[in-house]
Amino acid sequence: MLEISNCNNHSHIYRCILFLFLFVLSVNSLSTCKYSYFDFSSIANKTFSYQGVSFQGASATYYWTVCGTSALCNSNTNNNDISACQNVTSGFLNTGEEPGAWSSNGTSLAVFFNATRGAACYNKLKRTTTVHLTCGLGETSIINAYEPASPYCQYQMEMYSPMACRLPQISSLQIAQYPKGAAYLSLQIGEIEKKPTYTVSVAGIECTNSLVANQLYTCELTSLRLENGGNYSIRIFSKSATGIPETTFPINNYILKYPIVSAVNSLTVNGGNLTLGGYFGTNLNLPSVVLNGSVECQILEISSTTIICRLNSTQLQPGRASLNVTVDGYPFTSHSLISVVSNDYSKCEREGCSGNGKCNEITGTCDCDNNYYGPKCNLKPGDGEGGVFKPNKTKPSIDIEYNGYVFRFSIFSIQEIRGDGSIEFEVTPDQWNHTIDNSTALTTIDYDMLPSNSSAQKQLQVKTRISFSSLARTFTFGSKSYNLPPNAVKVGVNVSNWVYSSNLNYLRVVFITAYNPSQKIGCGGEINAFNKDDQSSIQSLMIVKDDVIYYGRFLDYSISDGRETYSSNELISVDEEAKTALIGINLPQCNVCELDPDFSSLVSTDNNSCSKVEFEVWKIALICGLVGGTLLIGLGIIFYSKRKYFYLRYLSLTAKKDPNVNLTNLNSSQSTVKVV
């Protein structure tokens, strides 16, 4: 083999020049074999021939290549770059040289060769050769070769080749759920044959019943079962011919679009109709609803957004019920959406409502009269000035100061929770713009979260409104109305465009609050900080510190996509040393979730004074309506989302009497509030 290093020897110089020339020619030949995603390298420099006639009817043999040069044409014309030639009675004529020029008319390919040397044509024009290539199976073959009568010397070669077959140019693709757990594939494409010569498969499963119309390719994948988080590869290839390039398109972390249950009505042990709101697809094949793994709910009506079924009362027991919904073979499971309540309200009757309310026969809890709050309706607004409201100009945080005490709470984070209770995703809003309107007796502060840095939540929007008034006011949440006393603060949060990871995930709103494991009012006995129902769902919170009471009432319902639905409230964790607790509100997956609570200053009506020093309390109570089931410190929250649960970790609530409270690390889920 000739080494380049030997070229400094004069005896080899001509051989070196020839070697370099042939090397460059070879590279150029291969480079002209590729056009767009078409590749004819496998037939580079291959000479094709066809016995035809000239425009005058004389016998002529045509020789050409699709790309590269023809050794036969080169040797008979004493050249080295000839791609096409013609053998007539007078000898070989150059009809085209490298490099060729590729083009496409949308249905076929063409490569054009121009002859810059050799005998000119009779019409004084230079000779040219155009090779036309259309899609065809089998080997690359010749259809025809001829010289048109006008203009003559413009030679036309017609061929078909599997390498000229067009794979669809995909502009968009979608896999949709199909009955019986199967899938339906649609590809939005550019140029495509009406009878495609290619095959489409997903995850190794080939498409069946494919259709092509208006640049849309559709097919069925009857044996493909889609799953949440699944990764699928779409492959487009030819089964019947070699040389056709294949294309693959990945779909990662697939999310089932249905079934999704976002709202349910309340249930008692008497049974009756169960209404499920959400999204159940458009096929609606083989639907089923089952509670607790075995209690079937007879379906009465079904649509894309609602399922109504009937339950037998003899099969229901009080407590939390699991829910399994299946549509088109795809499942939905929840252990937190349905609560079956009993009609036993003896506890409520036994403990009473302090003469300031009535026992609710359905829930077994006290429905307090206006101006009274608490599990026993023994709390009411204070007679003081109500404290000084101090809006925060950097983030949605409220400070209310009263007699040296500062009550503080702020938005913490938004989380998406998996079915097993672990965190799927979390966003901590920490940068905001704000505007303040205090032109009337009602002061409002609107906060807009700056765009999230999370690549998964680039479209996320969080809006918060905090309102405060020294006057009494009324608001309605769902089907119920609530009266707010003077100096009440109300918080509303809107979360939109959240992208969910699974149709099985749900939301949880989390609060951090000061916690006192050993507390009492005046000379009374110890008070449990958390009042829970029979299903261990928190109904209210009461924290006592230095004769200051924090009272929060947690509703057992939220508004999901415009419908009231059950929401449970859980104690997530307690830090005895730091004297803090995390409380979570569980919400279903929904497009619009609404929380609209408030808090007010309250005092105790119990007469538990130990001496002439009467018990004085200024209470900040998260009164009223926590949507989602729980609310601590007046939080009004509305969640707008695009199919995916988010968890709003909200609230850093604390009370301090300078300098007895130390607030630390209020920017993460590990934040603590230390009460010294």
pLDDT at 142: 94
C-alpha distances (whole Å) from 620 to each of 398, 424, 552, 560 are: 12, 33, 8, 27
pLDDT at 129: 96
**DSSP-derived secondary structure letter, 627:** G
26-37 confidence digits (pLDDT tens): 334 455 898 877
- The closest of 443, 615, 633 to 554, measured between CA atoms, is 633
Place of tokens 């003469």: 355
- The closest of 471, 400, 469 to 633, measured between CA atoms, is 400
Residue 434: pLDDT band (50, 70, 90) is very high
pLDDT at 363: 66
Query: What mean pLDDT do residues 329-339 have?
Result: 91
Angle, CA 147 vertex, CA 146 and CA 152 arms, to 5°: 170
Task: Return the half-sphere exposure (C-beta side, CA atoms, 13 A cut-off) of residue 642.
Answer: 10
d(CA 360, CA 366): 6
648 - beta bridge partners? 414
d(CA 523, CA 494): 43
d(CA 510, CA 585): 6
Highest mean pLDDT among 188-197, 291-300, 363-372: 291-300
Tell me which of 42-56, 269-283, 510-524 is least confident: 510-524
From the CB of residue 513, how many other CB atoms can be counted at a distance below 10 Å?
A: 24
More confident residue, 111 or 391: 111
More confident residue, 165 or 548: 165
More confident residue, 301 or 164: 301
Tell me which of 200-214, 255-269, 379-393, 414-428 is least confident: 379-393
pLDDT at 379: 78
| H, E, C per residue of 61-99 | EEEECCCCCCHHHHHHHCCCCEEEEEEECCEEEEEEEEE
Instruction: Give the predicted TM-score (pTM) of the model.
Output: 0.66
More confident residue, 486 or 253: 253
Tell me which of 26-30, 50-54, 66-70, 285-289 is least confident: 26-30
Helices (H), ranges, 299-445: 346-351
Residue 241: pLDDT band (50, 70, 90) is low
Max Cα–Cα distance, the chain, nearest Å: 133
The percentage of residues in the chain with a pLDDT greater than 70, rounded to a whole number, is 74
Q: What is the DSSP string of 252-283?
A: -S------EEEEE--EETT-EEEEEEEE--SS
d(CA 434, CA 432): 6
Torsion over CA: 637, 638, 641, 645 (sign): positive
Per DSSP, the three-state class of 43 is helix
Q: Which helix (H) or strand (E) holds 19?
A: helix 13-31
C-alpha distances (whole Å) from 485 to each of 95, 368, 626 are: 97, 14, 17
Tokens of 291: 């509670």
One-letter identity of residue 65:
T
d(CA 311, CA 273): 6
Query: What mean pLDDT do residues 468-493 have?
Result: 79
C-alpha distances (whole Å) from 646 to each of 94, 495, 502 are: 73, 9, 11
Tell me which of 288-292, 401-405, 410-414, 537-541 is least confident: 401-405
C-alpha distances (whole Å) from 649 to each of 161, 423, 425, 458 are: 62, 12, 12, 19
- The closest of 538, 508, 520, 481 to 365, measured between CA atoms, is 538
Distance of CA 160 to the CA centre of its chain: 45
Given strand 82-88, what is the order of strands in its sheet? 48-53, 59-64, 82-88, 91-104, 109-114, 128-135, 154-161, 141-146
Burial classification of residue 483, based on how many CB atoms lie within 10 Å of its CB (0-12 exposed, 13-18 middle, 19 or more buried): middle
Rg of the Cα atoms in the chain? 39
Domains of the chain: residue spans and CATH? 32-164 (2.70.130.10), 170-251 (2.60.40), 260-341 (2.60.40.10), 378-675 (no CATH)
In the chain, % helix, strand, coil (3-state, to 5) comes to 10, 50, 40
Tell me which of 3-7, 295-299, 420-424 is least confident: 3-7
Cis peptide before 151 (omega within 30 of 0): yes
Please check whether residue 510 is in contact with residue 647, taking contact to mean a CB–CB distance below 8 angstroms: yes
Tokens of 33: 């074999």
Given strand 319-327, what is the order of strands in its sheet? 267-268, 330-341, 319-327, 288-291, 295-296
Residue 549: pLDDT band (50, 70, 90) is low
Please check whether residue 446 is in contact with residue 488, taking contact to mean a CB–CB distance below 8 angstroms: no
Residue 193: pLDDT band (50, 70, 90) is low
For 6, list phi and psi in degrees, rounded to 5. Answer: -80, -5
C-alpha distances (whole Å) from 606 to each of 370, 420, 520, 549 are: 17, 43, 12, 13
β-pairing, 648-657 vs 506-514, is parallel
Residue 604 reports pLDDT greater than 70:
no
Residue 14 reports pLDDT greater than 70:
no
Per DSSP, the three-state class of 576 is coil
For 43, list phi and psi in degrees, rounded to 5. Answer: -120, 25
**DSSP-derived secondary structure letter, 520:** B
d(CA 226, CA 182): 7
Residue 631 reports pLDDT greater than 60:
no
Distance of CA 634 to the CA centre of its chain: 30
Residue 331: pLDDT band (50, 70, 90) is very high
Residue 543 reports pLDDT greater than 60:
yes
Q: Which helix (H) or strand (E) holds 583?
A: strand 580-587
* Cα torsion through 11, 13, 19, 24, rounded to 10: 180
C-alpha distances (whole Å) from 354 to each of 348, 351, 357, 520, 548 are: 11, 8, 7, 18, 21
Torsion over CA: 559, 560, 563, 564 (sign): negative
Q: Which helix (H) or strand (E) holds 14?
A: helix 13-31
d(CA 529, CA 544): 8
Please check whether residue 549 is in contact with residue 521, taking contact to mean a CB–CB distance below 8 angstroms: yes
More confident residue, 400 or 150: 150
89 Ramachandran zone, left/alpha/beta (phi>0; psi -120 to 50): alpha
Cβ-proximal residues to 347 (8 Å cutoff; 6+ apart), any chain: 364
d(CA 399, CA 388): 8
